[in-house]
Amino acid sequence: MAGEQVAFFKGGFRPLSDATVSVRSKALNYGLGCFEGIRAYWSKPENQLYIFRAEDHYERLLLSTKIVHLKLNMTVEQLVAATVELCRRNAPREDTYIRPLVFNNSELMSPQLTDEPAELAIYTLPLRDYLDVTKGVTACISSWRRVSDNMIPARAKPTAAYMNSALARLEAKENGYDEAIFLTNDGYVSEGSAEHIFIVREGKLITPSSQEDNLDGITRRTLCQIAPELGFEVVVRRISRTELYVADEAFLCGTGAEVCPLVSVDRRPVGDGKPGPITMALQKLFWRVVRAEVPKFADWCKPVYPK
């Protein structure tokens, strides 16, 4: 990337330094917003940047705005077009993270969601490994429970709910772990602080459903769709805490985390304490899929630069 970066804000493209909000903004004061995280992957052989599952992310974002009553007067097609143009203007030649954010930018007092139009901001930044996807990470069961869907709806990816994630990750870091794993109020596994979770038992991939107070994850959905290509069965069901301790393998996944091996939980090794073969096979296939190297799934990858 060269020169000052550009953001999409207030209906147009402007220098990133000009894309600012007031200290009185409701979004800043009360967390009244929702967001998406989208990856774009650089393919050196193709000299191309591919935005991964852009339409799916924006469909989810519009569902989020509906849940939290933020009115965004743009279609999925318009949002994707703005994102492609933003990437072209910033011209990255590396793996890139895209952050669309919809928020209440009113400066009126009170944490009230009103009928006024919401503000949209989109920016990009370089992003390589969010977690150690080669060696894997350690995790603990957090003493903080996942916020219930009837408290702050996780499927809306609300900005306010990430205080819950920040507290869990802080606790994990202070106690010598890389990540935290949330339980639901019923005591079942929900997700990581900002990632979904899979375990492997008897050769099957097992993951909690989005009814366990977690996001309807697009990376998780992707893995469920591509796993059969390697002959792996996927089972969506509840996971108990102790199942994490006896799993053959486990991994975290998400737009940021991609496919990241989980090597221990609560200081108990997962399997032999090293990234497992099923996890690594899935990770390898995932990295090919996101760079449009697997024809069956190439439609998920939107090219940024004209050929």
Rounded Cα distance between 175 and 251, Å, is: 20
Using DSSP's 3-state secondary structure scheme, residue 213 falls into coil
How many alpha carbons fall within 13 Å on the CB side of residue 141?
Answer: 14
Rounded Cα distance between 199 and 139, Å, is: 13
How many alpha carbons fall within 13 Å on the CB side of residue 22?
Answer: 10
157 is catalytic: yes
State both tokens at 176.
Answer: 């010598």
Rounded Cα distance between 226 and 33, Å, is: 32
Phi and psi of 277, rounded to 5°? -65, -35
Is residue 217 within 8 Å of 56, Cβ to Cβ?
no
Catalytic residue among 66, 157, 296, 307: 157
According to DSSP, the residues that pair with 21 across neighbouring strands are none
State both tokens at 297.
Answer: 């799934």
Is residue 103 within 8 Å of 144, Cβ to Cβ?
no
Other C-beta atoms lying within 10 Å of the C-beta of residue 177? 21
Residue for token digits 């301790």? 245
Phi and psi of 14, rounded to 5°? -150, 160
Other C-beta atoms lying within 10 Å of the C-beta of residue 141? 18
Catalytic residues: 157
